[in-house]
């Protein structure tokens, strides 16, 4: 979706996460209330459509889910004046052992409130739309693999602003709060005391979907990395169906990234942004000092990556251009979970074996895909 308010299109009824139960089948989920050049494409192997996500099980342990909330008016952007909520959901291993790498996720532009006629922030009608909870499946999966995962709400921005800098700066604000929490200080301490000493903010990965994808590319870029909060180091940035168009007069500089590993996931049946995210790789061929990877899911669409945007339900939309052969939501979500796990395992955990999936030496089961790899210049 490319605007903050849109008339939904009725899609086929389906249960968005039915097949993902097996992803964390080994996990008990507890909910706690707040208190050199580019190689050519590698075509993946075809698999039967019926390859169910539930056939793949996570190998990690139990996961605890916690929500933190400082209110709908907790943050005002000093540059733009945009007023935003400070709200997020944390997925973490139930047994915390030392300081763990952190993945922070940012959703894109969707309805800001649960009532389509809402026109003000905070919501004058309805309540904040839970887009940030649409990646719970991914948060649980990654947490079961040893990451602490935080998904951020950006509804205030969706209601009042289309500025990618707003998204990047709100992301930096949350990173600052998490870094403070890691040292036992700051406003999140009262809500998330169990995470003190367990967040390694020098090993942070970011993920953004849709407009959030450009937001995280902006935040990680060569031009904007000086704005990272003290004590925070971004080790990898992953764009999922990311928006890619450059501001007039600024070119690609706001999202040009040659010093942090880049991953991109796009979809062949995406009617919102198509395959535009591949341009993030095109931009850095022959210039980047870190590897860049992408995977295109041949039959994937834009919205199924987020379960709250996925039919059935109010204000949801099946945006696929190939509904007769589109991936089931749980198949598409499983593909993202496996790819994201490989990406963050490689760059936050140092697991070199994970690069086989990123390079295309190893295939994602159950989906048709094309993989690219841009090699660093040194």
- Asked if residue 309 belongs to a domain, the reply is yes
Domain assignment present for 3: no
CATH number at residue 254: 3.40.50.1820
- How many domains are contained in the chain? 1
In a domain, 13, yes or no: no
> How far apart are alpha carbons 283 and 42 in whole angstroms?
20
Q: Which range, of 2-16, 76-90, 129-143, 333-347, averages the lowest pLDDT?
A: 2-16
CA 248 to chain centre: 26
* Residue 162 confidence (pLDDT): 81
Residue with tokens 């409130």: 113
Does residue 48 lie in a domain region?
no
Position 19 in a domain:
no
Q: What predicted TM-score, i.e. pTM, was given to this entire model? A: 0.88
Give a yes or no: residue 185 inside a domain: yes
| pLDDT confidence band for 251 (50 / 70 / 90) | confident
What is the pLDDT, as a whole number, of residue 17? 38
Residue 274 domain-assigned (yes or no) = yes
Beta-sheet pairing, 83-84 with 87-93: unpaired
Q: Is residue 45 part of a domain?
A: no
In order of 32, 233, 258, 303, the CA distances from 147 in angstroms are 18, 15, 25, 25
The domain in which residue 363 lies consists of 32-37+53-374
Q: At what angle do helices 136-143 and 329-348 cross, to 10 degrees?
A: 40
pLDDT tens per residue across span 286-310: 999 999 999 999 999 999 999 999 9
């Amino acid at each position: 979706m490319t605007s903050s308010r849109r008339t939904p299109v009725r899609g086929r009824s389906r249960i968005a996460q039915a097949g993902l139960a097996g992803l964390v089948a080994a996990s008990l989920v507890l909910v706690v209330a707040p208190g050199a050049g580019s190689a050519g494409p590698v075509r993946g192997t075809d698999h039967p459509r019926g390859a169910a996500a539930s056939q793949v099980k996570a190998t990690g342990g139990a996961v605890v889910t916690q929500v933190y909330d400082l209110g709908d008016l907790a943050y005002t952007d000093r540059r733009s004046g945009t007023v935003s909520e400070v709200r997020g959901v944390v997925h973490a291993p139930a047994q915390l052992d030392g300081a763990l790498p952190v993945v922070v996720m940012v959703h894109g532009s969707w309805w800001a409130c649960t009532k389509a006629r809402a026109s003000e922030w905070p919501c004058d009608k309805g309540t904040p739309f839970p887009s940030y909870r649409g990646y719970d499946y991914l948060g649980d999966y990654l947490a079961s693999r040893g990451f602490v995962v935080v998904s951020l709400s950006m509804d205030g921005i969706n209601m009042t602003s289309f500025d990618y800098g707003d998204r990047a700066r709100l992301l930096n604000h949350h990173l600052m709060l998490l870094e403070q929490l890691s040292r036992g200080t700051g406003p999140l301490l009262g809500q998330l005391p169990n995470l003190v000493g367990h967040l390694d903010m020098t090993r942070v990965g970011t993920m953004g979907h849709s407009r959030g994808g450009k937001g995280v590319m902006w935040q990680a870029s060569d031009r904007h990395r000086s704005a990272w909060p003290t004590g925070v180091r971004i080790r990898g940035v992953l764009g999922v169906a990311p928006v890619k168009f450059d501001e007039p007069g600024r070119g690609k500089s706001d999202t040009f990234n040659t010093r942090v590993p880049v991953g991109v996931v796009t979809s062949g049946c995406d009617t919102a942004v198509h395959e535009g995210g591949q341009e993030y790789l095109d931009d850095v061929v022959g210039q980047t000092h870190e590897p860049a990877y992408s995977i295109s899911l041949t039959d994937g669409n834009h919205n199924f990556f987020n379960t709250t945007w996925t039919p059935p339900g109010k204000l949801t939309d099946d945006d696929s251009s190939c509904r007769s052969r589109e991936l089931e939501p749980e198949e598409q979500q499983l593909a993202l979970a496996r790819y994201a796990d490989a990406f963050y395992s490689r760059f936050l955990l140092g697991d070199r074996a994970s690069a086989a999936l990123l390079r295309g030496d190893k295939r994602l089961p159950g989906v048709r895909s094309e993989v690219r790899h841009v090699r660093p210049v040194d």
